[in-house]
């Protein structure tokens, strides 16, 4: 097969592993930096050009689009879909999951466990918002944050009020969330491929920290998940429409709650923690599903 890997950097662990796994299985790969792609969207025959050449005859495309390039990355992916190239994750599913508010609304509609979460744009009553999540301690998050930056634990009512007012004062988009104390600084990353959890790891925050992000000094280890956690992760990926997803769960007193569904989950942490060949599993999924022309949306929507 001829596989396009949409990635801004071919030297990243995940990109390298996917290329390696594809080539081991006899496929041809090309890494494409989405920001350098230009597209003809006016003609009847959609095309994608890169470095002076038309990109043709691809069977499948693996999008690894960072959150900072979601808008243009999704447009490039949509163009491939319009050309009948099979996307591992569809552009609509990626944009859906990147919108935290939209994705939580979709998950809640389908009854997936979520931490009690309140969104606001310009609320007149911060105290009432705090009451809605059950009071302090609570977590305040900046919507655009990644790797735990902009995630704050406010331990008292006063701290919560001033953090919320402070973020609003600088016009940050925020959500406030019930603090799942019983998860004790740990979260669970479930790696889903084609409707199955193929690997899971627990990330544990260091002493004195509640955020378990590896970038914040968290450590990862393999974990056995419960059937309920497994089905929650599978359902969350399915509701988002993602074939490949990293579903982050917290263990709460009221069962597993979904924190986030990631459409370009990193491979390094999960492969290192579990010793599994996740890149190989993604390529095998592409082999099974990516016969040319099998794309569902053809760039709709
Ligand atoms: P980011 O997307 O920036 O990583 P997250 O929302 O995943 O931000 O939060 C970072 C970390 O903080 C999580 O991995 C988790 O360990 C912890 N955390 C986030 N929300 C909660 C919560 N409501 N209760 C307890 N811990 C939380």
Residue-wise pLDDT for 244-297, tens only, equals 999 999 999 999 999 999 999 999 999 999 999 999 999 999 999 986 555 555
180-194 mean pLDDT: 96
Cα 249 to ligand 1 centre (Å): 9
Which numbered atom of ligand 1 lies nearest the CA of 186? Answer: 16
Task: Say how far apart CA 3 and CA 14 lie, in whole Å.
Answer: 15
Could you give the percent of the chain with pLDDT greater than 70?
Answer: 96
Mutate to test the pocket of ligand 1, among 98, 153, 250, 266 (most ligand atoms within 8 A of CB): 250
pLDDT at 301 over 60: no
pLDDT at 297: 56
Cα 301 to ligand 1 centre (Å): 31
Which numbered atom of ligand 1 lies nearest the CA of 183? Answer: 25
How is residue 122 written in tokens?
A: 């310009």
Going along the chain from its start, the domains and CATH numbers come out as: 2-95 (3.40.50.20), 117-179 (3.30.1490.20), 182-283 (3.30.470.20)
Q: Which of 260, 291, 265, 297 is nearest to 278 (CA)?
A: 265
Which numbered atom of ligand 1 lies nearest the CA of 185? Answer: 16
**With a 6 A CB cut-off, is 213 part of the ligand 1 pocket?**
yes
Predicted confidence band of residue 122 (pLDDT cuts 50, 70, 90): confident
Which numbered atom of ligand 1 lies nearest the CA of 260? Answer: 7
**With a 6 A CB cut-off, is 211 part of the ligand 1 pocket?**
yes
**With a 6 A CB cut-off, is 184 part of the ligand 1 pocket?**
no
pLDDT digits (tens, 9 = 90+) for 161-180: 999 999 999 988 899 999 99
Cα 150 to ligand 1 centre (Å): 10
For the sheet with 186-193, list strands across it: 219-222, 196-204, 186-193, 244-252, 255-262
Which numbered atom of ligand 1 lies nearest the CA of 177? Answer: 23
Do 267 and 61 meet the contact criterion of CB atoms below 8 Å apart? no
pLDDT digits (tens, 9 = 90+) for 24-76: 999 999 999 999 999 988 778 889 999 999 999 999 999 998 888 899 999 99
pLDDT at 215 over 90: no
Cα 211 to ligand 1 centre (Å): 6
Cis peptide before 137 (omega within 30 of 0): yes
Q: Report yes or no on whether pTM surpasses 0.85.
A: yes
**With a 6 A CB cut-off, is 180 part of the ligand 1 pocket?**
yes
130-147 mean pLDDT: 91
pLDDT at 66: 86
Q: What residue has token string 């997803």? A: 245
C-alpha radius of gyration, the chain, whole number? 20
**With a 6 A CB cut-off, is 138 part of the ligand 1 pocket?**
no
Cα 148 to ligand 1 centre (Å): 6
Residue of 244 and 299 predicted with greater confidence: 244
pLDDT at 160 over 90: yes
């Amino acid at each position: 097969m001829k596989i396009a890997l949409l990635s801004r950097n071919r030297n990243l662990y995940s990109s390298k592993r996917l290329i390696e796994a594809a080539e081991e299985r006899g496929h041809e790969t090309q890494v494409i930096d989405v920001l350098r792609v230009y597209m003809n969207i006016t003609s009847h025959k959609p095309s994608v050009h890169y470095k002076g050449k038309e990109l043709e005859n691809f069977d499948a495309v693996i999008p690894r689009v960072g959150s900072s390039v979601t808008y243009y990355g999704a447009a490039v992916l949509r163009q491939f879909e319009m050309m009948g190239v099979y996307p591992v994750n569809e552009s609509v599913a990626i944009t859906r999951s990147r919108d935290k508010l939209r994705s939580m609304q979709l998950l809640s509609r389908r009854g997936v466990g979520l931490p009690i979460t309140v969104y606001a744009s310009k609320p007149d009553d911060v105290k009432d918002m705090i009451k809605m999540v059950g009071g302090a301690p609570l977590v305040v998050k900046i919507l655009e944050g990644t790797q735990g930056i902009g995630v704050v634990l406010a331990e008292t009512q006063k701290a919560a009020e001033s953090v919320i007012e402070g973020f609003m004062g600088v016009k940050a988009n925020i959500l406030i969330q019930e603090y799942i104390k019983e998860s004790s600084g740990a979260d669970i990353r479930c790696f889903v491929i084609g409707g199955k959890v193929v690997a899971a790891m627990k990330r544990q925050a260091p002493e004195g920290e509640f955020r378990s992000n590896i970038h914040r000094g968290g450590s990862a280890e393999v974990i056995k998940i419960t059937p309920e956690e497994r089905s929650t992760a599978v359902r969350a990926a399915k509701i988002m429409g993602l074939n490949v997803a990293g579903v982050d769960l917290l263990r709460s007193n009221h069962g597993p709650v979904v924190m986030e569904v990631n459409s370009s989950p990193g491979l390094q942490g999960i492969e290192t923690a579990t010793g599994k060949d996740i890149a190989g599993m993604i390529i095998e999924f592409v082999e099974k599903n990516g016969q040319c022309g099998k794309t569902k949306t053809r760039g709709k929507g």
